[in-house]
Amino acid sequence: MTESPYRQSTPRAPRPRHGSRAMNGCLDVVLGLLLVLLEGLICAVAAYSLTLSRWDPVASETTGPPPMDWTPVLVLGGIAATVALIAVVLIRENRPWAGAIQIPVALLLCVAAVQVGHEDYRRSHPAPASAPPDDPGRSGHQCLSGGDNRECLDSGG
Per-residue pLDDT tens over the stretch 111-153: 999 999 999 888 888 877 776 655 555 555 555 666 566 665 5
pLDDT above 80 for 36: yes
d(CA 151, CA 61): 50
* pLDDT at residue 130, as a whole number: 73
Number of Cβ within a 10 Å radius of residue 106: 20
pLDDT digits (tens, 9 = 90+) for 43-91: 999 999 988 887 766 656 667 777 888 899 999 999 999 999 999 999 9
* pLDDT at residue 134, as a whole number: 58
d(CA 117, CA 86): 24
d(CA 104, CA 39): 12
Report in angstroms the alpha-carbon separations of 7 from 13, 18, 42, 148. Answer: 15, 27, 44, 104
State the helix-helix crossing angle for 71-92 and 21-54, rounded to 10 degrees.
170
pLDDT above 70 for 20: no
d(CA 116, CA 80): 14
**Range from 4-8, 26-30, 94-98, 151-155 carrying the lowest mean pLDDT:** 151-155
Rounded mean pLDDT, 13-36: 76
pLDDT above 80 for 7: no
CA angle 30, 104, 52 (to 5 degrees): 95
Residue type at position 120:
D
pLDDT above 80 for 21: no
Rounded mean pLDDT, 25-39: 91
